[in-house]
Amino acid sequence: GAGVSQTPSNKVTEKGKYVELRCDPISGHTALYWYRQSLGQGPEFLIYFQGTGAADDSGLPNDRFFAVRPEGSVSTLKIQRTERGDSAVYLCASSFGEYNEQFFGPGTRLTVL
Amino acid sequence: ELKVEQNPLFLSMQEGKNYTIYCNYSTTSDRLYWYRQDPGKSLESLFVLLSNGAVKQEGRLMASLDTKARLSTLHITAAVHDLSATYFCAVDLSQTSGSRLTFGEGTQLTVNP
């Protein structure tokens, strides 16, 4: 079946602009996660949804970052007033069931100039 | 705060040799995951370890978990070039169906002919 998909695959923006990153999880997966990965490092947790609600948003670095999942499927990560330090690969993952095996999408590479 | 440490961070080995990657974590957990990441690609789930003493094997890779020592190992047997990638361990502190993963820094493995 189809895996996790993310769009766009690459996004180049200017400092101060607003961006939206989209994630389409595996069908039927109730849990959805956003992580951020900088070069040479492991993914860092941003936010986790169970259904439509954010169950844990403690990883969001500041209030410029916001994510939604209005219908419990597709999620959008929104970044306002982007900064150069926001440049990274943003990964989305989804899971189902008690074992929490998370399946990752291909990521969106965000570059803020 | 949970800390996950891998060593070595860089590993260069010859084909046919054996080696072990270590993953130590700072807080009690009995859920640990291993992922593989090829350059420019997303993370591929390799192993899910859910209890003390768990051992999983797939091809030339074998993973184990010692929750008392807070240690997981990924053992490589008779390495081949195709195993060249970055390997991450990740720890889940929750006993519920979904929660954040905390990743190690990754071990970049290069297998030379």
- pLDDT tens-digit map of A66-104: 999 999 899 999 999 999 999 999 999 999 887 889 999
Spatial separation of the C-alpha atoms in residues B44 and B38, rounded to whole Å: 9
Q: Residue A99: which of B44, B48, B106 has the nearest Cβ? A: B48
What digits encode the pLDDT tens for the residues A54-66?
889 999 999 999 9
Which tokens is B107 given?
């071990």
Mutate to test the interface with B, among A100, A103, A104, A109 (most CBs of B within 10 A): A100
pLDDT reading at A5 higher than 90: yes
Name A104's Cβ contacts closer than 8 Å, sequence gap at least 6: A4, A91, A92, A93, B35, B42, B43, B44, B45
A57 close contact with B: CB closer than 8 A: no
- The residue among A91, A78, A100, A77 whose CA lies nearest residue A30 is A100
